[in-house]
Amino acid sequence: MKAHDVTFVAKDLMMDEEAAAFIESRNIRSSPVLQVDDVLLYGQDLGPKKVDELLGLE
């Protein structure tokens, strides 16, 4: 995302209890997780093609 000059906020789930609770409340058991508006990508969905598509970088 840095390569495309996309602004983002990184959250450490070990240090940010609110962020960890948010992820847990959605039954997500893996990280990293990318949230863009109301869309969450994680696991196999978090590939470069899907991320580029979601961010409009295609």
Structure tokens at 9: 């906020």
pLDDT digits over 6-54, tens only?
999 999 999 999 999 999 999 999 999 999 999 999 999 999 999 999 9
Domain that holds residue 11: 2-55
Total count of domains within the chain: 1
Taking the model in full, what pTM does it have?
Answer: 0.83
- CA angle 37/38/42 to nearest 5° reads 100
Spatial contact of 52 and 58, defined as CB atoms under 8 Å apart: yes
